[in-house]
Structure 1
Amino acid sequence: MKIISFTRRVAIAAALTTSLVGLDAPAATGKATTTAPASAVRLQEIATNGTVLHVRIAGSGPAVVLLHGYGDTGDMWGPLVAELARNHTVIVPDLRGMGLSARADKGFEKANEAADIIGVMDALGIKRADVVAHDIGNMVAYALAARNADRVTKLVLMDAPIPGIGPWEEILKTPLLWHFRFGGPDMERLVAGRERIYLDRFWNEFSANPANFPEAEREHYAALYAAPGRMHAGFAQFAAFDQDAVDNRAWLAAHGKLTMPVLAIGGEKSFGPMMAIDARAGAIDVQERVIAGAGHWLMEEQPVATVAAIREFLDAQPASPAKDGLAPTALSLDQTQSMTTAGAGTGTSGVAGIKTVLLYGDPAKPGPYVLEIRVPANTAIAAHTHRDNRFATVISGTWYFGFGSNPATARVKALTAGGLYTEPGKLPHFAFTRDEAAVVRITGMGPSDTAFVAVPIAR
């Protein structure tokens, strides 16, 4: 069986995808290509966390780390490297004990493998990077992003679950995933010399169309996995899942969900939209993509569509306001609830104990804004007005609201979750909680203000 060098694979990928993913070709005018040539790929053995990883490095610019899964190696990323190396520094390791990395007998817990990758980044002087992962790589990437949130700018997770996160226990019951519990010395003996047969099972059953996983790729990976210690490392990746699940549940309970932007990509004939459902159990800012005509092996089956989806996500910049001052924004409840709280501010009452979250815009400036007030139990906001017209929705709790300048005589409405009311400009109103806290979301068009109203004296 034949092993194809990574530099050759990148060159082939670039040649095959030039017209499809926008790589610049040399023109008759002599304009140089911006595609990093295959010869620009550096191969480096990096000592990290008690092992040595085989690492491919290409291009220059903002860093992107690519993490492979089982059934392939870092070589799977050839088409993506050919695209990203135009304006990124692309770092492609083989995971612990796999591919051309050093043999390893232990340390396959994903939190430990995340430390392997941090060591690679440190060795290369990379402070922060986008991370793109597939399969087992997802699990390492999640552990990496959770424990090193300041080092990961964006995260792409492709077509595999995270141990202990979301519907993990249900996923374990899927008959197709019997290999999660297949391992140990006897299993290694059974597979020895039959690596291609064993791996074909994955490539065939997890493809939308087995013909789309090329024969050259199969020969390449089968030869790599037949090398001493490689199947052991592969089995050990799965054997660590139980500990990975314990580690992830504990981390999530103690530290909460990931906050960086996450792209969850599923193959249409594999995880599909379930990939995003799984990712949202562990991250608050998740975008969803399903790649048509693909099974599990996205880079082999549909490389052009997969590369385009990843590139679009990594290149995306924060939305700019439109001409009317409103920028496109989509926030989940998890995202809004994780935002920083503050005390008093423009358009708020300033009452002690009330926390404010600015969800959009700035009430002190012209233009639309959205803020949320989190009001403790037994807290009152006296009668007041605002200069702008506002709409409000009760998110949780019971919020007692009324119009007028005297709460003692005005009519009060008890509003629960989903309740809506308006605050017309200059019209006095008041509100309070009783024995439970409330959360209220308010929308207006700034600039806003708050002016308290004197309560009339009864005569």
Structure 2
Amino acid sequence: MSATVSSTFSRRFRRVAAGLAASLALGALSARAAPTPFPADFRSSQVVNADATINVRVGGHGPAVVLIHGFGNTGDMWSPMAAELAKDHTVVVPDLRGMGLSSHPAGGYDKWTQAGDIRAVLDKLGIDRADIVGHDIGTMVAYAYAARYPDKTSRLVVMDSPVPGIPPWNQIVRLPALWHFNFGGPDAERLVAGRERIYLDRFWNEFAGDPSKIDEATRRHYAAIYARPGAMHSAFAQFLAIGQKDEADNLKAMETKLAMPVLAIGAAKAFGANVAVVMRNAATNVQELVVPNAGHWLMEEAPAATIAAVQDFLAAH
């Protein structure tokens, strides 16, 4: 990685970290609707893969596309995109292990194992190849899936997240804005127990371009899910696995660059063009898009632009 890129990356995140500090006030936000329900023809089921039971929603007809959520959300975040893509795709929306309505196994939170969960879901559905879309931790799982199953990945879309181990990862993890990557020590669960909403509010607010876009009903919806027994333990395990296994797995995987088309979407007020910087170190065919005026929560802050970007990319390749 060149000194120029590293300097640009660091400057961008210093600005993000400074700007995000101003958003910590947790004032009351106007209540709108909770996450939009999935279309009525979507069905939910559970798929068992070794030690985990994965909750999954499926709807539509046509080529398959998988939508993978991250931390602070569940698969529910994708409902507006799922409704649009289902017009000409079979849309598969899992909850990651330990999150949403999936089970909370003791281990397996490394992203390589979770890629196996996604593959088990697709095998159960009789789907051989699929487009893979991920946001936040879902980006990490999406990359792991594409690296582990390149012959079963038609296209890859990654949204506003770095990927452990892939340069400039060593610069990224030192940035104050990513404090939560290391907030997983032995006392983390005790600190957050009964205070899940406070923790999540800070997370949502710090990474939002406009915190009011994450409305009160949406916050209540996700806070209730993350307050369930075992949920925060599993969530912290997602972050702990980054240093324990994900970095090494991806350093090995990136020795063979991804060949399928990749769309790297960044939010202008969060990771921005740096999503593409990361992916160009891991793939040979990367298209870059930065969504203007948006923070990290692209589906809440800029749903129309984000959906259109994914639709256009899938149609063009």
Q: TM-score, normalised by structure 2?
A: 0.88
Alignment of 1:340-355 (within 5 A): none
Taking the aligned partners of 2:229 and 2:34, their CA distance within structure 1 comes to 19
Task: Point out 4+ residue stretches in structure 1 off by more than 2 angstroms.
Answer: none
Q: 2:163 corresponds to which residue?
A: 162
Query: Structure with the greater relative contact order (CA < 8 A, sep ≥ 6): 1 or 2?
Result: 2
Report the counterpart of residue 103 of structure 1 in structure 2: 104
Q: Structure 2: which 5+ runs fail to align? A: 1-30
Distance 2:186 2:218 in 1: 27
2:23 — aligned with what? none
Deviations 1:410-449 (A, max 9, x none): xxxxxxxxxxxxxxxxxxxxxxxxxxxxxxxxxxxxxxxx
Q: What residue number does 1:52 align with?
A: 53
Whole-angstrom CA distance in 2 between matches of 1:184 and 1:229: 16
Q: 5 Å matches for 1:127-276?
A: 127-242=128-243, 243-253=245-255, 256-276=256-276
Letter in 2 for 1:316: A
CA drift of 1:160 comes to: 0.3
Q: Which runs of 5+ in 1 are unaligned?
A: 11-37, 318-459
Cα distance in structure 2, aligned partners of 1:110 and 1:269:
26
The one-letter amino acid of 2:105's match is A
- Check the 8 A contact 2:34/2:215 in 1, yes or no: no
The corresponding residue for 1:282 is 282
Cα deviation code 1:213-259 (max 9, x no counterpart): 12211111101100111111110000001110011112223xx1100
Counterparts of 1:105 and 1:180 in 2: how far apart (Å)? 19
Backbone CA RMSD of aligned residues: 1.4
Contact 1:49/1:115 (<8 A) preserved: no
Distance (whole Å) between structure 1 residues aligned to residue 48 and residue 293 of structure 2: 39
Q: Which amino acid aligns with 1:163?
A: P
CA distance in 2 between partners of 1:69 and 1:208 (Å): 17
**What do the CA deviations read for 1:292-337 (whole angstroms, capped 9, x no partner)?**
11110000000000000011001114xxxxxxxxxxxxxxxxxxxx
Q: Indicate the residue corresponding to 2:313 in structure 1.
A: 313
Measure, in 2, the Cα distance between the counterparts of 1:105 and 1:227. 16
Given that 1:111 and 1:140 are in contact with CA atoms closer than 8 Å, whether structure 2 keeps it comes out as yes
Task: Give the conservation status (yes or no) of the 8 Å contact 1:159–1:265.
Answer: yes
Higher normalized strand content (fraction of residues) = 1
The structural deviation recorded for 1:144 is 0.6
Aligned runs of 1:315-330 on 2, under 5 Å?
315-317=315-317
Indicate how the Cα distance of structure 1 residues 198 and 67 shifts in structure 2: closer, same or farther if over 3 A, else same.
same
Quote the offset at 1:49 in angstroms. Answer: 3.3
Rounded to whole Å, the distance in 1 between the matches of 2:40 and 2:79 is 13
Residues of 2 paired with 1:9 and 1:217: CA distance?
Answer: 12
Q: Deviations over 1:30-71 (max 9, x none)?
A: xxxxxxxx2201000111132100000011110000000000
Q: Does 1:87 align with 2:115?
A: no
**Residue of structure 1 equivalent to 2:41:** 40
* Paired AA for residue 130 in structure 1: D
Q: Which residue of 2 aligns with 1:394?
A: none
> Tell me, what secondary structure is at the counterpart of 1:9?
coil
Q: 2:185 & 2:132 partners in 1: Cα distance?
A: 31
Q: Is the 8 A contact 1:49 1:119 kept in 2?
A: no
Q: Distance in 2 between matches of 1:205 and 1:140?
A: 23
Q: Distance in 1 between matches of 2:51 and 2:291?
A: 38
Structure 2 Cα separation of the partners of residues 171 and 187 of structure 1: 22
Specify which structure has the higher proportion of helix: 2
User: 1:135 offset after TM fit, Å?
Assistant: 0.5
Following TM superposition, by how much is the alpha carbon of 1:5 offset from its aligned partner in structure 2, in angstroms? 8.9
Equivalent residue of 1:266, what SS? strand
Look up the equivalent residue of 2:257 and give its one-letter code.
K
Q: Deviations over 1:391-418 (max 9, x none)?
A: xxxxxxxxxxxxxxxxxxxxxxxxxxxx
SS in 2 for 1:282: coil
- CA positional deviation for 1:89: 0.5
Structure 2 CA distance, aligned partners of 1:158 and 1:96? 20
Aligned residue for 2:73, secondary structure, equals coil
Is the 1:196–1:222 contact (alpha carbons within 8 Å) kept by the matching residues of 2?
yes
Which residue does 2:26 correspond to in 1? Answer: none
Say if 2:34 and 2:218, in contact at 8 Å, map to a contact too.
no
Identity across the alignment (%):
56
Aligned-partner Cα distance in 2 for 1:108–1:5: 28
TM-score, scaled relative to structure 1 = 0.61
What is the SS of the residue equivalent to 2:37?
A: helix
For residues 229 and 99 of structure 1, what CA distance do their matches in structure 2 show?
11
Which of the pair has more CA radius of gyration?
Answer: 1
Please give the secondary structure, in 2, of the residue aligned with 1:39: coil
Structure-2 residue corresponding to 1:397 = none
Instruction: Report the secondary structure of 1:40's partner residue.
Output: coil
